[in-house]
């Protein structure tokens, strides 16, 4: 089977790495891909916003299955465009992807279906939003309705900060139309976990639980990033896992069927485990990044088989097996990220990491045979271990072998595996 994978991040390198191991794969194409995916298949330079061009490429190259990685491609309806052309794909439809692409939709959906989440209200008028913020206790969490490159959530500690944020989102349009509606939400305290489930519209299968480390600094300090490292499985009780399945995942699938927009693909709720129980922080309608860089190391089953079962509504027949090990992925970033940083530095030591380690590439570029830095999050160093301590130790031992100018990474990924 010829497969086309859409995307160019560390997530896509990890997906490509796993898809390439499938005996069912004839040839893997990645659009546009990165230096890492280029070692596993053929990178093709198509503008992924151009659905016509993707459909044409798929037809010209006998592609039987398309895997859509990025949130914006899903929100733009790439799965729908492929379906119209009778090409099977992995991922939710544009309407189902609203769980991620509209926070207002997601919050209303959770209210309609009794799914536990933080109390919130949605506003379309700046003055109304400001009046609400002034009469509610701080901190308040302010979220742009639409996709905003991971920058659309602000935890406002003061009314001045709340006003500044609302003005920036709703009046100055810092994120274009994405911020015209905002959700204002109560601040939740607790421990955050990443939950993923394969979904075929009716049936869901949960992955082991993961933890992302979203802030740039140790101890979860500083600015939010796309994710500075992930660990899995987080140690959580069977009772809590069952609670997540029965109060979040299953009601979402059932609710989406009731609303006529069944969810297929990966459902990824960010969840806060609070003293009062679990609460959904947000839904993503795709694989997490860097979570996927950890997950693909643990997945023992054939990813292509599982994805096809999701797309064909046959997940109940799928036997999904996870390795009984631990994994720790440390992101190596360009100094300055998530703000201004420089690129173009030579990366050395990529071949010097041990056998239990895989280095996934995100922001890299090839210049001849030399790999250069080309983004904020450059590499993900992902190591397995028989225990959580061993996985962490192996990951940091491997990190020591890799270097580039102004390399930055957090030293505390994997210090806390609990909830």
**What is the binding site for ligand GLY (CB under 6 A)?**
212, 227, 284, 288-289, 291
Q: Taking CB under 6 A as the rule, does residue 187 contact ligand AMP?
A: yes
Q: Could you say which residues in the range 156-185 bind ligand AMP, by CB under 6 A?
A: 185
- Please, which residue, 153 or 310, has the CB nearer to ligand AMP? 153
CA atoms of 143 and 179, how far apart (whole Å) = 8
Give the binding-site size for ligand AMP (rule: CB under 6 A): 13
Q: Which two structure tokens, joined as six digits, stand for 215?
A: 């802030």
- For the bound state, the minimum distance from the C-beta of residue 369 to ligand GLY, rounded and expressed in Å, comes to 31
- For the bound state, the minimum distance from the C-beta of residue 287 to ligand GLY, rounded and expressed in Å, comes to 8
- For the bound state, the minimum distance from the C-beta of residue 99 to ligand AMP, rounded and expressed in Å, comes to 12
Give the one entry of ligand GLY, ligand AMP, none that residue 228 binds, where binding means its C-beta sits below a cut-off of 5 to 8 angstroms depending on kind: none
- For the bound state, the minimum distance from the C-beta of residue 157 to ligand AMP, rounded and expressed in Å, comes to 12
Q: Taking CB under 6 A as the rule, does residue 75 contact ligand AMP?
A: no
Q: Taking CB under 6 A as the rule, does residue 153 contact ligand AMP?
A: yes
CA atoms of 174 and 252, how far apart (whole Å) = 31
Provide the 8-state DSSP code for 76: T
Give the one entry of ligand AMP, ligand GLY, none that residue 282 binds, where binding means its C-beta sits below a cut-off of 5 to 8 angstroms depending on kind: ligand AMP
> For the chain, first and last CA: distance in Å?
41
Packing angle of the helix pair 250-258, 103-113 (nearest 10 deg):
100
CA atoms of 92 and 95, how far apart (whole Å) = 8
- For the bound state, the minimum distance from the C-beta of residue 222 to ligand AMP, rounded and expressed in Å, comes to 13
- For the bound state, the minimum distance from the C-beta of residue 328 to ligand GLY, rounded and expressed in Å, comes to 15
Q: Could you say which residues in the range 101-130 bind ligand AMP, by CB under 6 A?
A: 118
Backbone angles phi, psi at 230, to 5 degrees: -140, 150
Give the one entry of ligand AMP, ligand GLY, none that residue 188 binds, where binding means its C-beta sits below a cut-off of 5 to 8 angstroms depending on kind: ligand AMP
Q: Which residue shows structure tokens 């609460």?
A: 279
- For the bound state, the minimum distance from the C-beta of residue 346 to ligand AMP, rounded and expressed in Å, comes to 33
Which is it for strands 370-373 and 264-274: parallel, antiparallel or unpaired?
Answer: unpaired
Give the one entry of ligand GLY, ligand AMP, none that residue 289 binds, where binding means its C-beta sits below a cut-off of 5 to 8 angstroms depending on kind: ligand GLY
Q: Which residue shows structure tokens 């052309």?
A: 85
- Please, which residue, 18 or 211, has the CB nearer to ligand AMP? 211
Give the one entry of ligand AMP, ligand GLY, none that residue 284 binds, where binding means its C-beta sits below a cut-off of 5 to 8 angstroms depending on kind: ligand GLY
Q: Could you say which residues in the range 199-238 bind ligand AMP, by CB under 6 A?
A: 214
| Inter-residue contact 33 to 314 (CB < 8 Å) | no
Q: Which residue shows structure tokens 């009314």?
A: 159
Nearest residue to ligand AMP, using CB? 282
Give the one entry of ligand AMP, ligand GLY, none that residue 42 binds, where binding means its C-beta sits below a cut-off of 5 to 8 angstroms depending on kind: none
Give the one entry of ligand AMP, ligand GLY, none that residue 377 binds, where binding means its C-beta sits below a cut-off of 5 to 8 angstroms depending on kind: none
Give the one entry of ligand AMP, ligand GLY, none that residue 288 binds, where binding means its C-beta sits below a cut-off of 5 to 8 angstroms depending on kind: ligand GLY
- For the bound state, the minimum distance from the C-beta of residue 8 to ligand AMP, rounded and expressed in Å, comes to 21
Burial 145-161 (b: 16+ CB within 10 A, else e): bbbbeebbbbebeeeeb
| Inter-residue contact 294 to 231 (CB < 8 Å) | yes
CA atoms of 164 and 156, how far apart (whole Å) = 9
**CB atoms closer than 10 angstroms to residue 110:** 23
Q: Could you say which residues in the range 260-299 bind ligand AMP, by CB under 6 A?
A: 270, 281-282
| Inter-residue contact 210 to 291 (CB < 8 Å) | yes
The CA–CA distances, whole Å, from 87 to 2, 56, 58, 69, 217 equal 12, 11, 8, 16, 43
Cα-trace Rg, the chain:
21
CA atoms of 354 and 47, how far apart (whole Å) = 36
Give the interface with ligand AMP as residue ranges (CB under 6 A). 118, 141, 143, 153, 155, 185, 187-188, 192, 214, 270, 281-282
């Amino acid at each position: 089977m010829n497969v086309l994978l859409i995307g160019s991040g560390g997530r896509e390198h990890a997906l490509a790495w796993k898809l390439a191991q499938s005996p069912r794969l004839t040839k893997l194409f990645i659009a546009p891909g990165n230096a890492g995916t280029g070692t596993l298949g053929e990178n093709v330079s198509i503008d992924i916003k151009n659905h016509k061009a993707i459909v044409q490429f798929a037809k010209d190259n006998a592609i039987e299955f398309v895997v859509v990685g990025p949130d914006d491609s899903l929100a733009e309806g790439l799965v729908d465009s492929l379906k119209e052309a009778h090409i099977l794909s992995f991922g939710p439809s544009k309407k189902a992807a609203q769980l991620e692409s509209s926070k207002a939709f997601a919050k209303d959906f959770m209210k309609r279906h009794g799914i536990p989440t933080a109390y919130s209200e949605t506003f379309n008028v700046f003055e109304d939003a400001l009046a609400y913020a002034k009469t509610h206790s701080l901190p308040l969490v302010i979220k742009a309705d639409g996709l905003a490159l991971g920058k659309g959530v602000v935890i406002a500690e003061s009314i001045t900060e709340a006003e500044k944020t609302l003005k920036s989102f709703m009046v100055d349009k810092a994120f274009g139309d994405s911020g015209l509606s905002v959700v204002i939400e109560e601040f939740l305290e607790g421990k955050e976990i990443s939950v993923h489930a394969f979904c075929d519209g009716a049936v869901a299968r949960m992955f082991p639980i993961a933890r992302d480390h979203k802030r740039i600094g140790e101890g979860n300090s500083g600015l939010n990033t796309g994710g500075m490292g992930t660990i899995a499985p987080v140690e959580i009780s069977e009772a809590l896992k069952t609670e997540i399945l029965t109060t979040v995942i299953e009601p979402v699938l059932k609710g989406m069927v009731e609303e006529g927009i069944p969810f297929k693909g990966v459902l990824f709720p960010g969840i806060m485990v609070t003293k009062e129980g679990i609460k959904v922080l947000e839904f993503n309608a795709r694989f997490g990044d860097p979570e996927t860089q950890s997950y693909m190391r643990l997945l023992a089953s054939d990813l292509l088989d599982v994805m096809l079962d999701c797309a064909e509504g046959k997940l109940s027949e799928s036997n999904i097996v996870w390795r009984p090990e631990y994994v720790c992925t440390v992101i190596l970033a360009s100094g300055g990220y998530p703000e201004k940083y420089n690129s173009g530095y030579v990366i050395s030591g990529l071949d010097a990491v041990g056998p239990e380690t895989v280095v996934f590439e995100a922001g890299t570029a090839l210049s001849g045979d030399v790999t250069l830095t080309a983004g904020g999050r450059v590499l993900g160093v992902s190591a397995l271990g028989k225990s959580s301590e061993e996985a962490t130790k192996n990951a940091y031992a491997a990190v020591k072998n890799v270097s580039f100018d102004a390399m930055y990474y957090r030293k505390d990924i994997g210090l806390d595996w609990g909830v």
